[in-house]
Amino acid sequence: MDRKMGTAMDFAYQTGVLETLGNLPEGFYKEKKAEIRAWAEEHVRNGGESPEDFYWKKIEKDYIRP
């Protein structure tokens, strides 16, 4: 498995957990999967921070319910 696919799978898993816990609306992944896949590509292209930190910055900015 390439790095981009692995990162996208990690982001999908984290999204599923947040949906289950109620922090994201049900069906969020289905609605936003292209955007989440683009995040994975961006992270692999730019590198730097951990995938988890990158994901949290993206998701908290616009989507996490208080």
* Per-residue model confidence as pLDDT tens digits over 7-49: 999 999 999 999 999 889 989 999 999 999 999 999 999 987 8
Q: What is the pTM of this model?
A: 0.85
User: How many domains is the chain partitioned into structurally?
Assistant: 1
What ranges in 1-66 are assigned the alpha helix state H? 3-21, 28-46, 51-62
| pLDDT band with cut points at 50, 70 and 90 for residue 61 | confident
CA of 4: how far to CAs of 25, 26, 33, 65, in Å?
A: 25, 25, 14, 27
One-letter amino acid at 6 equals G
> Tokens 């994975």 correspond to what residue?
40
The domain in which residue 27 lies consists of: 3-62
